């Protein structure tokens, strides 16, 4: 069945223009994006079907309750090796303290190649961890 091997990235981003740009970048690179508009929607999506996602791309600051830090921690509870990419337009100073291990932080604005390189690197690391030794 065509498209059955497509990897799906969960995207949590409140900015509609950036969401569309990210979706386009991912699709051009052969991924599918499942977009959510805030932390609560991302958490509900993960709770319903975390196994469907190959990675999480989350903004750190989003409206309403919740932040990307909590979304990533919850995702890792469900899938301990899930690749996580944080995005922020703010300072990255809290990433070392708040971010989950083995994650990457992209400073906004970022180039499409930066996103795809970060995603590919994390997916390769996760695949290496799954190889029986």
Residue the block writes with tokens 């958490």: 43
pLDDT value of residue 3: 46
Residue 1 included in any domain = no
When divided into structural domains, the chain yields a total of 1
Residue 21 included in any domain = yes
Residue 2 included in any domain = no
Q: Is the pTM of this model over 0.75?
A: yes
Residue 80 included in any domain = yes
Is 61 or 90 the better-scoring residue by pLDDT?
61
Residue 24 included in any domain = yes
Three-state helix/strand/coil letters over 5-45: CCEEEEEECCCHHHHHHHHHHHHHCCEEEEEECCHHHHHHH
- Rounded CA separation 18/86 (Å): 14
Task: Look up residue 85 and give its DSSP letter.
Answer: E
Residue 133: pLDDT above 60? no
pLDDT value of residue 92: 67
- The whole domain housing 73 covers 7-130
* CATH value at residue 110: 3.40.50.2300
């Amino acid at each position: 069945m065509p498209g059955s091997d497509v990897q799906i990235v969960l995207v949590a981003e409140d900015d509609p223009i950036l969401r569309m740009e990210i979706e386009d970048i991912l699709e051009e690179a052969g991924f599918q994006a499942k977009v959510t508009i805030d932390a609560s929607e991302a958490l509900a999506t993960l709770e319903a079907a975390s196994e469907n996602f190959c990675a999480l791309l989350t903004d750190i600051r989003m409206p309403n309750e919740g932040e990307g830090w909590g979304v990533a921690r919850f995702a890792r509870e469900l899938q301990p090796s899930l690749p996580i990419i944080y995005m922020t337009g703010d300072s990255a100073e809290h990433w070392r303290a708040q971010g989950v291990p083995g994650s990457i932080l992209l400073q906004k604005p970022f180039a499409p190649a930066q996103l795809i390189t970060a995603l590919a690197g994390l997916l390769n690391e996760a695949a290496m961890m799954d190889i029986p030794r």
